Amino acid sequence: MNATQGAILSVRDLEKTFGSVVAARDISVDVPVGQTVGVIGANGAGKTTFVNMITGHLTPSKGVILFEDKDITGKASREITRLGISRSFQVAQIFPSLTVFENMCIAAAIAHCGPSFLDNVTTPVRSPRATAEAEAAIELFQIGNYRNAVASQLPQGVRKLLDIGMAVAGAPRLLLLDEPTSGISIEEKFGLMEVVMSALKKRNITVLFVEHDMEIVSRFADRVLAFYDGTVIADGTPHEALDNPRVQELISGIRLKPAGAAHA
């Protein structure tokens, strides 16, 4: 199978089973370079299974995953990361006893040293390259005021920005975000997403983000994949997907304004 022209990610007939339980099935998707895709669905709908297969945390039972026309089906997560796919998790994966700057330096060093980093205590965490990339990421994600703050003391929103900034340290071309606004107050969530999406667009990173907040999806996604019972039941613009009767019945439970109206 060849990727559709212009697609950075192509999956065909993807399926994952755990014994007799089918967690994902019949998933075929092409994601163009530069697109921002919102992934929605109730708990257990197959969203996380889909993301885990792309990032190598799960091996598909069936189907093919292509990244930049390379078959990455079943490859280890570290290898997939080195190829250019990165991920942030719902709970920030940071070093709580280190400062924001130190966290960024470590992320940059790991990204460039690959799997040998943890086996080599002499790896220069504060090499000129790692230091420069850490400073650039801190500026990009607008957390310079917290540069020397210990990560465990950061406000939740800043922890999220640090975590996503660390995921970007290796210059990925595709980034998967797991509920980036989880745990963020209503007052902060739109501002946080503005910072994140602006930063990722500046780096020309293609984005898939899993999100339960339909207002966030409506405002920030170019396209929406709606999952139910392990498969995609709607794929289109935010307005098309969120206006789909099955999505309203099975996922959102509400009818939203068109995406453009969210900016009004």
pLDDT at 222: 97
| pLDDT, tens digit (0-9, with 9 covering 90-100), for 200-257 | 999 999 999 999 999 999 999 999 999 999 999 999 999 999 999 999 999 977 554 4
Q: Strand 36-40 to strand 223-228: parallel, antiparallel, or no bridges (unpaired)?
A: parallel
Q: How many CA atoms lie within 13 Å of 63's alpha carbon, on the beta-carbon side?
A: 23
- Give the ranges where the chain is alpha helix by DSSP (H): 47-54, 77-83, 100-113, 128-140, 156-168, 186-202, 214-220, 238-242, 245-247
The confidence band for 136, taking pLDDT boundaries of 50, 70 and 90, is: very high
| pLDDT, tens digit (0-9, with 9 covering 90-100), for 68-83 | 999 999 999 989 988 9
pLDDT at 89: 75
pLDDT higher than 80, residue 134: yes
pLDDT higher than 70, residue 152: yes
pLDDT at 261: 46
pLDDT at 24: 95
Give SS3 for 228.
Answer: strand
| pLDDT, tens digit (0-9, with 9 covering 90-100), for 88-106 | 876 667 899 999 999 999 9
Average of pLDDT values for 133-153? Answer: 95
Average of pLDDT values for 17-35? Answer: 95
**Residue recorded with tokens 């943890």:** 118
pLDDT higher than 80, residue 127: no
List the domains of the chain with CATH numbers.
1-84+172-264 (3.40.50.300), 93-166 (no CATH)
Is the pTM of the predicted complex or chain greater than 0.85?
yes
pLDDT at 122: 44
Q: Is the dihedral of CA 194, 195, 201, 204 positive or negative?
A: negative
pLDDT higher than 70, residue 42: yes
